[in-house]
Each structure stands twice: as C-alpha cells, then as structure tokens.
C-alpha cells in the first residue's frame, strides 16, 4: 500500500507546479488562483483545498519564487496578489521539465 507521506510529497510538488503555472498568465489572488485551478482540474479540483493553497502561496513567497502586493478588493478589503519572480519563472521551467520526464517515464513503463 502507498505511503501517505509519499503521496503527500508527490501532491505537494504537483500543486506547486499547478499554482505557479496559473501565475505564469499574470498576477492573481488566492481565490482567483483557486477558481482557475478548479476550472482547469475539473473533477479533480477537490485536491486543491483552501487550507492547502494559502500555506503553499506563503511558502513559495518565503522561498523567493513569488512576490506579492495588495490591491483594493471589490468589497472593500484588500486582496493580496501574487506573481512569479524571475527565480520563480526559472523554478517553474525546471519543474515542468521534470514533470514531463516523469510523465514520459510512466507512459513508457506503466501506461503502455
């Protein structure tokens, strides 16, 4: 049986990539990122929970992969917008290449 810690690590790496990929299109705030992921993931959108997304955004920002700024919200309270930093763009490019390699390996060995 799969180890839950291993599953969490795989998911963590994938979520980093998915969130950063959304931000590749331009700055966005937490709820906007989640809406975009829900749209892209469809029936798998449940894997991105609010309790997971915001700590992930904060961690990526602490690690210098994202930068943030506040803008007024439609309902008065400011929204925190995130964008990729140059390091974040480079990290995302490396991560996408890694996932492509993993997908190709799985396709050659398990999925064929």
pLDDT in tens, 89-108: 999 999 999 999 999 999 99
Which residues are 71's β-sheet partners?
79
Q: Are 88 and 20 in contact (CB under 8 A)?
A: yes
The Cα 52–Cα 47 span in angstroms is: 9
- What pLDDT score does 1 carry? 42
The Cα 39–Cα 23 span in angstroms is: 14
User: Does the pLDDT at position 12 exceed 60?
Assistant: yes
List the domain boundaries for the chain. 4-111
Is the CATH code 1.10.10.10 the one for domain 4-111? yes
């Amino acid at each position: 049986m799969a180890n839950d810690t291993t599953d969490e690590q795989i998911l963590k790496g994938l979520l980093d990539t998915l969130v950063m990929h959304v931000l590749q299109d331009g700055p966005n705030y937490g709820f906007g990122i989640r809406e975009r992921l829900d749209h892209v993931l469809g029936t798998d959108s449940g894997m991105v929970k609010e309790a997971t997304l915001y700590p992930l955004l904060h961690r990526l920002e602490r690690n210098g992969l994202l930068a943030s700024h506040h803008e007024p919200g439609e309902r008065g309270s400011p929204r925190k917008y995130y964008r990729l930093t140059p390091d974040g763009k480079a990290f995302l490019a490396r991560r996408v290449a890694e996932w492509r390699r993993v997908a190709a390996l799985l396709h050659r060995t398990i999925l064929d």
